[in-house]
Amino acid sequence: MKRLVNIVKNEILKIFYKKRMHVITAILFIVIILFAYGEHYTLSKAQERAAVQFEIENEEEWKNILELQLADLERRLDSAYIPDRGKASIRVRVEQIKFYIDYDVNPISSSVARFMGRLIEQSIFLFLPLLIILLAADMVSGEMTFGTIKLILTRPVKRWRIIMGKLLALSMLEMVVISMIALLSYLIASMVFSYSGFNEPVVTGFRVLENQLDTSAVRTIPQWQYLLMVYAIAYFVAFVIGSLSLMVSVMVQSTSASIGIMMSTLIGGSFLSLFISEWKITRYFFTTNLNLTAYLTGDFQIVEGLSMSFSILVLLGWSIGAIIIAFIFFTQKDILS
State which of residues 25, 145, 216, 254 lies at the interface with another protein (CB under 8 A): 216
Instruction: Rule CB under 8 A: say whether 125 interacts with another protein.
Output: no
Contacts 24+ apart (CB under 8 A), 272-281: 277/301, 277/303
The CA distance from 319 to 329, in Å, is: 15
The CA distance from 325 to 243, in Å, is: 10
User: Please, which of residues 25-64 interact with another protein by CB under 8 A?
Assistant: 53-55, 61, 64
User: Please, which of residues 84-103 interact with another protein by CB under 8 A?
Assistant: 84, 87-88, 91
First to last CA, the chain: 31
Q: Which amino acid is at 134?
A: L
Contact yes or no for 44/102 (Cβ under 8 A): no
State which of residues 24, 28, 296, 315 lies at the interface with another protein (CB under 8 A): 296
Contact yes or no for 206/214 (Cβ under 8 A): yes
Least Å distance, CB 103 to another protein, is 21
Instruction: Rule CB under 8 A: say whether 9 interacts with another protein.
Output: yes
Helix (H, G, I), strand (E, B) or coil at 18: coil
Nearest to 133 by CA among 237, 239, 291, 245: 245
Instruction: Rule CB under 8 A: say whether 24 interacts with another protein.
Output: no
* Contact range with another protein by CB under 8 A, out of 41-49, 136-144, 154-162, 168-176: 168-176
State which of residues 107, 205, 317, 321 lies at the interface with another protein (CB under 8 A): 205
Contacting residues toward another protein, per CB under 8 A: 9, 12-13, 16, 53-55, 61, 64-65, 67-68, 71-72, 74-82, 84, 87-88, 91, 171-173, 175-176, 178-179, 204-207, 216-219, 221, 225, 228-233, 235-236, 292, 295-296, 307-309, 312
